[in-house]
A and B are shown apart, each in its own frame.
Chain A
Amino acid sequence: MTSIDLPYTKRTLANGLDVIVHEDHHVPIVAVNIWYHVGSKNERPGRTGFAHLFEHLMFEGSEHHNTGYFPPLQQAGAQLNGSTNTDRTNYWEVVPTSAVDRALWMESDRMGYLLPAVTRERFETQRDVVLNERRQNYENRPYGMAIMAITGALFPPDHPYSWMTIGSADDIRAMQLEDVQAFFRTYYHPSNASLVLAGDIETPRAFDLAERYFGDLPPGTRPLPVIATASLGHEHRLVLEDRVELPRLYMTWLSPAMFATDDAELDLVADLLANGKTSRLYRTLVYERRIALDVSAHQHSRELGSFFLLAATAAPGQSLADIAAEIDAELDRLSAMGPTDGEMERGLAQAEAHFMYRLQTVGGFGGKSDQLNAYNVLRGTPGFFSADLDRYRRATHDSVRSAAERFLRRDARVVLSVIPRGQPALALAGSDPVSVS
């Protein structure tokens, strides 16, 4: 077994900012990566989509560089971006080694001095840009609204995972500039943030620079953790009409939170069910019986609780009922007999290789800097890389079987049929119409 790890050094500044450094001198670039521990889970009904809209404002300028975040960094040869999900908001730059100072100056300026740069005009423009993002990625995309119908049924209305990070269009339209200030003061400060510098930089210099640019920012108050629970008492069958040619079936279950017991097992279950031609459902539905065009399964691991999502698109003329019956039969088999030895070997080989591949890039989404922040923010320590892999190494035939049996139950799930408009008969029997906007 290869031993692989992601080494780092961590210090916490006096103002509460976690700083993590990882050296990799192969290419003369440095990744700057900041996580703020805030996402759509911190929103409340009626204000959905705010965390993400706020992320857009972070690229419009800050007090001491009040003309847009991109130009000085692109001029330095940087690549940069940010993203918001349910649990966190991340921002990153990958810069040539010669431009680290500039990137840290920019990041620290928006952490400390954003508000003077947020004007009504910028706010309203970005609100419209976000509405366009929503139209492009959800409303104008086939099956794009399915995930909204699913999360709305999986979680109770006051659970923050019941809405999407993009938010509802009405909520986005109703947002006010005044909301920005309170949000910034609550969530955007050193004690709710974590900074990683990874790449072509010596550790002592990295800490010096972090102290220099971020050390004098006021700490702020660490926000209270969000607590929310969800449970499903029975099977919910829903149907959504969409502009699509072929019906698609989604089955979704509530599942253990990221890094919790059984989270890795359900990852392995997703793989053996639907990853590649060898997987059970691909083989049955697509390869042998040819009743589906595609099938996918994924354990969506989240901080407050996860969900396991299985989806299959019907081949022309094939019924969702037939597909559902095959899936149920396969889940029954897995719950009763567990994985084969071959499936366990394959799952482990793939996990080992994919952890190795994760060490190839220092920056960007999913690069080493992003992973160190994920572990630090969601696990409390950046040093979880090899322990994370061990979760997969420790999985056994019994633990995988048992996870499938306990979580992928027929009597506690959301089953959504997405069907072509005007053809309700194509949905699973007993499905209630759901509307999302």
Chain B
Amino acid sequence: MTVVDRSHLPDVGPDPAFTFPEILRHTLANGLDVRTVEHASIPVVTIVLQVEGGSGADTSDKEGLAAIVADMVDEGTGALSAIDVSDALARIGGDYDVDVSPDVTVFSLTTLTRFADRGAALLADMTTRPSMRDTDFTRVRQLRLDRLKQLKDLPTAVAERAFLRLLYAQHPYGHLPIGSDAALRQISLNDTSALHSATFQPSRATLVVAGALPHKDLLGIAAGAFGEWTNAASSSTPVQRASAIEPSEVAPPRLSIVPREGAAQSELRIGHLSARRNTADYPALLVMNSLLGGQFVSRINLKLREEKAYTYGARTGFDWRRGLSPFVLQASVHTASTADAIADALGEIEGLRGSRPPTRDELVLAKASLTRGYPRNFETAQQVARSVAQLALYDLPDTYFAEFVPKVNAVGADDVMKAATRYLDTAKLSTVIVGDRSAIADSLGTLGLGMPSVLPPEL
């Protein structure tokens, strides 16, 4: 037996070659943008339908409408009731999911290859011809109103709502997809049907089919199910496009608190509006974020968790959208350490912008952690299909995946500093605390951010 040399770590060999999935684009006669990807690991197919709209299409008096439309999609179609739809999905072992995000709504169905045609036909019926029955609508809306009530007790949700509202004010990106109590009560079935007709159009959608079949069969599945879908007359109805609206320039308060008396921890959000997803500086921003707070071995997590033990974990990231997107730090910290944790977090952000530029080792680590394991993002058909849908969402080229690693590797320390200076501004960072106000009020004075403005649990 060879004795292991424990005096130094084994070197890592050259990165293994990986061929990124080939994407074929097709346009059906009805204008639907279809993209197919062969993914031959196990006999499974994932179908992703991405529809332009999302919560950014909600007007200010109807916040929560797009999410209700998405909910109504599995509430019945044709002769099938909501129960029948659920039964049909179960009988093909379907893994169905819907995600309402700021710019788009994404439906995903994964099923066994032998059920792919059935699954696609069902998804097409559900998404393009939902029944929109009044009794289902009333139930769905009530469930969302009740859910909102529950969210008032969930510190993460309270912080998220308050933070978006402060950063975006009345901009359509300024609310969570679930919306508000007052708006949900205003929304009618007519509103729901109208937004569905206006947004669910072949010309406004992208369909991705990925799985263990040749391209022509994947295309056949798409065409068979979605080929008859037509652009309705109301397709000319304008839909609000959030990314085309500039957020106001008004700076939010530096420090806000949503009181939660007796809370065991303070839920924090710290950030400001920063960049767009399709900026050319994206690779530099990724590297910057990775070393600042985007991974376990980042400055902020090491400081707040591993050095100070203020929290179970702290991380930073960009909440990407097509329009101006927030940079945000999030952490749940021990009540007694709230002010200290905020001060340390702000100090780390400021440090990267000036006094403590990235070291060579930090830069190497941040880039390697983004690039070397990149192929693992393409392990399942669902990962592949969702990644391809993202290309459509952000108008990125099909060569994007192949170019990712070289672009990140080309980022230098200067690029990171430039990105930090340009896209982060400590003087503009807005801090939201959901926590025990009486326990922390005095210590917050030491931060130099002024008196905290007090917000209600719902905004």
Interface residues of A (CB under 8 A from B): 2, 24, 26-29, 63-65, 68, 70-72, 74-79, 94-99, 101-102, 105-106, 108-109, 113, 124-126, 128-133, 135-137, 139-142, 200, 211-213, 215-216, 243-246, 276-278, 283, 286-287, 290, 293, 313, 315-316, 342, 345-346, 349-350, 352-354, 356-357, 359-363
Contacts and interface: CB of A to CB of B under 8 A. Distances in A.
Interface string B383-395: 0000000000000
Interface string B288-332: 000000011100000001110111100000000000000000001
B93 A96 contact: no
A83 to B, nearest CB: 14
B371 interface: yes
Contacts of B152: 245
A350 B18 CA distance: 33
Contacts of A133: 312
A299 B90 CA distance: 19
B32 to A, nearest CB: 27
A128 B83 contact: no
27 contacts: A64-B7, A74-B296, A75-B369, A76-B368, A76-B372, A77-B12, A96-B372, A98-B13, A98-B16, A129-B311, A131-B334, A132-B309, A135-B265, A135-B332, A136-B312, A139-B264, A142-B150, A212-B4, A244-B150, A278-B83, A278-B86, A278-B87, A286-B143, A287-B82, A353-B93, A353-B112, A359-B42
Contacts of A72: 9
B192 interface: no
A139 B1 CA distance: 51
A29 B149 contact: no
A363 B3 CA distance: 28
B6 A245 contact: no
The 9 closest A-B pairs by CB, nearest first: A353-B93, A77-B372, A128-B309, A28-B16, A98-B13, A77-B373, A277-B86, A101-B10, A133-B312
Interface stretch (B48-56, B221-229, B374-382, B447-455): B374-382
Interface in B68-109: 74, 82-83, 85-87, 89-95
A356 B334 contact: no
A131 B86 CA distance: 41
Nearest to A200: B16
B41 interface: yes
B55 to A, nearest CB: 22
B83 A29 contact: no
Contacts of A287: 82-83, 139
B44 A98 contact: no
B371 A212 contact: no
Given A105-B9, A142-B150, A356-B44, A75 B368 contact: yes
Contact of B369 (A2, A77, A135, A342): A77
A58 B110 CA distance: 37
Contacts, number: 222
A175 to B, nearest CB: 14
B333 interface: yes
Interface in B137-163: 139, 142-143, 146-147, 149-150, 152-155
Contacts of B373: 29, 77-79, 94-96
B150 A98 contact: no
Contacts of A141: 154-155
B44 A360 contact: yes
Contacts of B44: 356-357, 360
B36 interface: no
B442 interface: no
A29 B265 contact: no
B43 interface: yes
B143 A293 contact: yes
A71 B297 contact: yes
B397 interface: no
Contacts of B85: 277
B149 A316 contact: yes
Nearest to A217: B4
Contacts of A140: 155, 263-265, 267, 332
B292 to A, nearest CB: 14
Interface string B8-32: 0111111111100000000000000
Given A77-B371, A109-B6, A135-B265, A346 B87 contact: yes
Nearest to A141: B154
Given A77-B372, A102-B12, A125 B306 contact: yes
Contact of B146 (A97, A215, A246): A246
Nearest to B13: A98
Nearest to B368: A75
Contact of A129 (B18, B82, B305): B305
B87 to A, nearest CB: 5
A339 to B, nearest CB: 13
A75 B9 CA distance: 12
A37 to B, nearest CB: 24
Contacts of B121: none
Contact of A353 (B92, B142, B307, B309): B92
Given A75-B12, A277-B83, 11 more contacts: A68-B297, A74-B296, A77-B369, A77-B372, A77-B373, A102-B12, A125-B306, A130-B312, A132-B265, A135-B334, A277-B82
Contacts of B310: 132
Contacts of B3: 216
Contacts of B122: none
Contact of A70 (B110, B147, B297): B297
A349 B364 contact: no
Contacts of A130: 312
Contacts of B236: none
B213 interface: no
Contact of A346 (B90, B142, B364): B90
A281 to B, nearest CB: 13
Contact of A96 (B95, B332, B375): B375
A128 B304 CA distance: 12
A142 B154 contact: yes
Most chain B CB neighbours (cut-off 10 Å) among A75, A94, A215, A313:
A75
Contacts of A142: 150, 153-154
B2 interface: yes
Given A105-B10, A133-B312, A276 B16 contact: no
Contacts of A68: 297, 306
A243 to B, nearest CB: 6
Nearest to B262: A243
Contacts of A135: 264-265, 332, 334
B256 interface: no
Contacts of B267: 140
B309 to A, nearest CB: 4
Contacts of B265: 132, 135-136, 139-140
Contact of A27 (B11, B92, B154, B375): B375
B6 A75 contact: no
B413 interface: no
A342 B1 contact: no
Contacts of B150: 142, 244-246, 293, 313
B180 interface: no
A402 to B, nearest CB: 23
Nearest to B370: A77
A321 to B, nearest CB: 19
- Which of the listed residues A72, A77, A276, A287 has the most CB atoms from chain B within 10 Å of its own CB? A77
Contacts of A359: 42
A286 B76 CA distance: 16
B187 interface: no
Nearest to A420: B153
Contact of A361 (B92, B374, B375, B380): B380
B365 A74 contact: yes
